[in-house]
Amino acid sequence: AQRANQPLVVRGQGAKLPLGRAAPYVEMAIRHARSHGLEPALVLGVIEAESYFNPKADSRAGAVGKMQLMPEHWPKLKDPSNPYDPDENVRVGCAYLSKLVRTHKGDVHRAIAAYNTGSGNVRKHQGPPTYTLGYVLRIARAQARWSAHLTRAPRTLRPRSPGPLPAVQATGAAP
């Protein structure tokens, strides 16, 4: 079983990260993930899969914001004043995801399936229901990409310099 703070292992990680959309929110997501004991790449993967980093996202089912939280989750998590506020939405989403990871004894696959369909359905099926496997895999792939990206950040998250780097830095040679 997958445990908290361990990336899900997947193959075929060729898709590109939505850095343009994500850049303003990465540090915030990392901060909230860490404050709730979650792997930052997992939280970024959930945000990517749920809203593609659109803070005004909503669904026909009633989920709102970056982490696509359902209204019934808000009162359980101190009812923030604005569910579309990115910081508040990610804070509450991380608290909820952390609760799911604990509920499912650190099994991230089950926690992600529960994020999608509810813990009751995961218990009923004695694991992630088959109809959630595509969702779990999508988040696993996004988490793997974010994990790889975060290990070589922050250089890639900073704005590009106006000119080329000196040859010494570009080749990695000592000054």
Residues annotated as catalytic are 50
Query: Could you please report the per-residue DSSP string of 4-73?
Result: TTSPPP-S---SPP-HHHHGGGHHHHHHHHHHTT--HHHHHHHHHHHHTT-TT-B-TTS-BTTTTB-TTH
What does the block give as tokens for 173?
Answer: 């040679």
What does the block give as tokens for 82?
Answer: 């604005």
Q: Is the C-alpha dihedral spanning 142, 148, 153, 157 positive or negative?
A: negative
Q: Which residues pair with 69 in a beta bridge?
A: 64
Amino acid at site 158: R
